[in-house]
Amino acid sequence: MSDQATNEGTEMSADEGSELHGCPLVDSRGQEVLHVPRDRYTEVLRALTDEGYAMCVDLTAVDYSRFMDRDLPEGIEPERFEVVVNLLDISNRRRLRVRVQVPESDPVVPTLFDLHPGTEAMEREVYDMFGISFSDHPDPSRILMPEDWIGHPLRKDYETGSIPVQFKGAPT
């Protein structure tokens, strides 16, 4: 498969062994998923934006610490965290999910703010909830939890029910 999807409305194949920009491309329940190495994250996202994936619909993360044996394409090593980006190409009616493995020992990925300014709040939420930082982010402060909150509530090592209800800016 070529590194570029055509702009004539044809869909990319997500057959086993498919690649896009040198990254494994797989089908997951009918949606194409691109597994991008962390060191190529910005490069590949920029190329996808240039090819029409101009809208970042969502950016979030997953803590896979209890599922380290999950299925991943050959050559992709599982890490505790994964950043998940959902892109949309409105002109060609295409959707693409991008998954990036993020190691627990160095939970940092580059920001997408320059490519997709709407990711600013989503990246802050990922930092707040999972502790994954985004290098060169314009405002890396917490967005949901109080500034003095210790920890990241959506990590699997937080005990269930141990987080009291508390809202940023609300009187205590």
pLDDT in tens, 133-170: 999 999 999 999 988 888 899 999 876 665 566 677 77
Q: What is the pLDDT of residue 16?
A: 64
> What phi and psi values does residue 123 have, to the nearest 5 degrees?
-65, -35
pLDDT exceeds 80 at position 110: yes
Spatial separation of the C-alpha atoms in residues 148 and 142, rounded to whole Å: 9
Q: What is the mean pLDDT of residues 51-76?
A: 97
Q: Is the pLDDT of residue 10 over 60?
A: no
Q: Mean pLDDT throughout 34-61? A: 98
Q: By the 8 A CB rule, do 71 and 40 touch?
A: no
Predicted confidence band of residue 2 (pLDDT cuts 50, 70, 90) = very low
For domain 19-135, the question of CATH label 3.40.50.300 is answered with no
Contact, 56 vs 116, CB < 8 A? Answer: yes
Decide if 23 contacts 37 (C-beta within 8 A): yes
Global pTM reads 0.83
Domain boundaries, the chain: 19-135
Query: Whole-angstrom Cα distance, residue 122 to residue 116?
Result: 11
Q: What is the pLDDT of residue 6?
A: 35
pLDDT of residue 75: 93
Q: Which long-range contacts (CB under 8 A, 24 or more apart) does 134-142 make?
A: 134/108, 134/109, 134/110, 135/108, 135/109, 135/110, 135/111, 136/110, 136/111, 137/111, 137/113, 138/111, 138/113, 142/168
